[in-house]
């Protein structure tokens, strides 16, 4: 400690950051860390996690070491801090050797308040030796869910961060994340050796975000209708459109551009300068639609993103929550809109099956995909389902999601389920939705002829529903675990153990009645 007394957290907040008061649990977290305690902080995106370590960094003697997984994110934070007059720097692969030397010298001399480093650099013996020569105020571990295999963004380099505690037992550590369900939270605490640290968990609800999930029929057209009807058409509002693949990002961006939108692309396959320029424009200008893979968004702090649209399923509920959470950070109304179909489920299932992960890991990922399907197919309030997943129970229906705004009727769908399941069975569990529905509807086409399926007992037993509604039934059967999608082959349906009681007539199946896409064009994107 220096001779004069350190300023208080509130003084720092006022004089350095220019904010009048702390928000939510910030004051509590900061007090705890300034006093030398370890902490795990779970706050939704936009809640103000950065100040939870930036203020203690300035209250405590020495340099705060901030572990952050993304270079772009570090740069943004460092620039913002420098503008406030805070002595901060980032050590990463973008630095030249000379720049690194200067930063290291400033660290040793106690001339830096914060230094941001990538996890892989932090654990290098040379860097740890440097830290031995410095006075360290605290360690902050940002995006801490990266340490957990339960999290949606596991990074093996994070595992080594446990050594911080062994090597610097007296330096407080604060781990921060926006997304962690119960198991992930415990996993983070365990892996980072945060044993006695306090957990600060803030509410996950983002009441200004309206959640909607539509059945996909022509996703791009659905998106266009949504943008035109609710976001003022081209140039009016900023938003993000997430797609699964780079190719689809490019296609969608140029398609939107052709419709008059200022649409930019962002994915890991683009050159760094292009990515940086697009990100910069999105942050600076109004009315830009960023079409992106999940490579875009971590740490993006743009308050007036009015919509986040998903043209493909995200990987999990955490990913969905984090991605949609980039909308409406200013607290004004914003939309989380998604179109999803069975092909998405098949595709993600295939990703999981063909990934090099262990079987245990694959089970976790399949479980996460199923939880996401549960959200997509629920007849309940979407927000309730989402919050319950994060351990927040007890909230009533929100009144600001599609199922609240246009309640979905459920009905006894046992007979329909049995027809669909028997048809999957009779066709040899070898076909996807298109063919199964053709057989249910009695379509006497080439493929049906080729397999002789016009002779099956299930041929034409489903004429009471149009194809679109059979798709809905099949999606719901998958979400309910009564049907599986074969991920080894080409997305054929397989029966599961769970469907036997239904086929035997011993179990009842409730289905949601999806709004018909044909019923009123403007409404087609709802439901
Ligand atoms: P997170 O990391 O949790 O997503 P940030 O730390 O980026 O959130 O903060 C989100 C925004 O809220 C930033 O623009 C930040 O300056 C602002 N903010 C945070 N805390 C306060 C506060 N106490 N008063 C006013 N603005 C705040
Ligand atoms: Zn609701």
CA angle, 518 then 521 then 525, to 5°: 90
Q: Which residue has the tokens 């968990």?
A: 201
242 exposure class (CB count in 10 Å sphere: 0-12, 13-18, 19+): buried
Q: By the 8 A CB rule, do 417 and 482 touch?
A: yes
Contacts of residues 163-167 at CB distance under 8 Å and 24 or more positions apart, as own/partner, are 163/123, 164/122, 164/139, 165/192, 165/193, 165/194, 166/193, 167/128
Report residues whose beta carbon is within 6 angstroms of any ligand 1 atom: 19, 22-23, 26, 43, 45-51, 301
Average pLDDT, rounded, for the chain: 90
Nearest CA to ligand 1 atom 19: 48
Question: Ligand 1 centre from 45 Cα, in Å?
Answer: 9
Q: Which ligand is nearest to the CA of 382?
A: 2
Q: For residue 336, which ligand has an atom nearest its CA?
A: 2
Ligand sitting nearest the alpha carbon of 41: 1
The answer, yes or no, to whether residue 34 has pLDDT greater than 90, is: yes
Ligand 1 center from residue 492 Cα (angstroms): 47
Query: By alpha-carbon position, which residue is closest to atom 21 of ligand 1?
Result: 48
Using the mean position of ligand 2's atoms as its centre, give its distance from the Cα of residue 197 in Å.
34
Alpha carbons 146 and 315: distance in angstroms, whole number: 15
pLDDT above 90 as % of the chain: 63
Asked if 25 and 202 touch (Cβ cutoff 8 Å), the reply is yes
13 Cα nearest atom in ligand 1: 23
Model pLDDT for residues 397-453, shown as the tens digit of each residue: 999 999 999 988 889 999 999 999 999 999 999 999 999 999 999 999 999 999 999
For residue 65, report the phi and psi dihedrals to the nearest 5 degrees. -105, 115
82 — alpha (psi -120 to 50), left (phi > 0) or beta? alpha
In this predicted model, what pLDDT tens digit does every residue of 495-517 receive, in sequence order? 999 999 999 999 999 998 876 54
Pocket test for ligand 1, best of 14, 15, 45, 51 (most atoms within 8 A of CB): 51
- Cα distance between residue 277 and residue 42, in whole Å: 31
Task: Please tell me what DSSP assigns to residue 15.
Answer: I
Say how far apart CA 321 and CA 427 lie, in whole Å.
Answer: 38
d(CA 174, CA 192): 10
State the pLDDT at residue 522: 37
**Contact present, 402 and 526 (Cβ < 8 Å):** yes
Which pLDDT value is given to residue 330?
Answer: 81
pLDDT of residue 181: 73
Task: Determine the distance separating the centroid of ligand 1 and the alpha carbon of 226, expressed in angstroms.
Answer: 30
Is the distance from CB of 212 to CB of 402 less than 8 angstroms?
yes
């Amino acid at each position: 400690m220096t001779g004069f007394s350190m300023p208080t957290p509130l003084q720092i907040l006022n004089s350095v950051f220019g904010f009048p008061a702390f928000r939510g649990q910030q004051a509590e977290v900061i007090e705890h860390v300034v006093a030398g305690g370890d902490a795990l902080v779970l706050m939704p995106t936009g809640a103000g996690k950065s100040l939870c370590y930036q203020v203690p960094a300035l209250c405590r003697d020495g340099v705060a070491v901030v572990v952050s997984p993304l270079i772009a994110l570090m740069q943004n934070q460092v620039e913002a801090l420098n503008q406030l007059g805070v002595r901060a720097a980032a050590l990463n692969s973008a630095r030249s050797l000379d720049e690194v030397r200067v930063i290291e010298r400033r660290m040793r001399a106690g001339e830096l308040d914060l230094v941001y480093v990538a996890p892989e650099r932090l654990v290098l013996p040379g860097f740890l030796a440097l830290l031995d020569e410095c006075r360290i105020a605290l360690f902050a571990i940002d995006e801490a869910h990266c340490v957990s295999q339960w999290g949606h963004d596991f990074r093996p380099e994070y595992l080594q961060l446990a050594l911080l505690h062994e090597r610097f037992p007296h330096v407080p550590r604060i781990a921060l994340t926006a997304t962690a369900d119960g198991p992930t939270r415990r996993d983070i605490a365990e892996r980072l050796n945060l044993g006695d640290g306090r957990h600060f968990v803030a509410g996950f609800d983002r009441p200004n975000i309206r959640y909607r999930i539509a059945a996909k029929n022509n996703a791009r057209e659905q998106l266009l209708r949504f943008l035109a009807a609710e976001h003022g058409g081209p140039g009016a509002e900023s938003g993000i459109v997430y797609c699964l693949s780079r190719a689809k990002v490019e296609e969608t961006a140029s398609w939107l551009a052709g419709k008059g939108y200022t649409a930019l692309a962002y994915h890991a396959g683009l050159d760094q300068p292009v990515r940086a320029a697009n990100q910069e424009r999105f942050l600076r200008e109004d009315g830009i639609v960023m079409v992106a893979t999940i490579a875009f968004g971590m740490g993006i702090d743009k308050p007036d993103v009015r919509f986040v649209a998903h043209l493909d399923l995200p990987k999990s509920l955490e990913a969905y929550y984090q991605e949609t959470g980039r909308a409406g950070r200013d607290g004004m109304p914003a939309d989380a809109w998604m179109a999803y179909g069975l092909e998405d489920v098949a595709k993600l299932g295939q990703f999981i099956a063909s990934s090099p992960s262990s079987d245990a890991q694959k089970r976790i990922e399949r479980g996460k995909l199923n939880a996401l399907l549960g959200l997509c197919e629920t007849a309940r309030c979407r927000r309730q389902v989402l919050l319950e997943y994060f351990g927040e129970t007890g909230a009533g229906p929100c009144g600001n999601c599609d199922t609240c705004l246009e309640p979905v009727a459920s009905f006894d769908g046992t007979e329909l389920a049995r027809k669909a399941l028997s048809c999957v069975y009779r066709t040899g569990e070898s076909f996807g939705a298109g063919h199964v529905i053709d057989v249910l509807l009695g379509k006497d086409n080439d493929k049906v002829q080729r397999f002789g399926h016009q002779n099956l007992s299930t041929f034409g037993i489903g004429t009471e529903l149009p194809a679109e509604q059979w798709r809905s039934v099949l999606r719901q059967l998958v979400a309910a675990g009564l049907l599986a999608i074969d991920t080894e082959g080409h997305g054929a349906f397989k029966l599961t153990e769970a469907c036997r009681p239904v086929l035997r007539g011993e179990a009842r199946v409730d289905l949601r009645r999806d709004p018909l896409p044909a019923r009123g064009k403007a409404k087609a994107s709802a439901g």
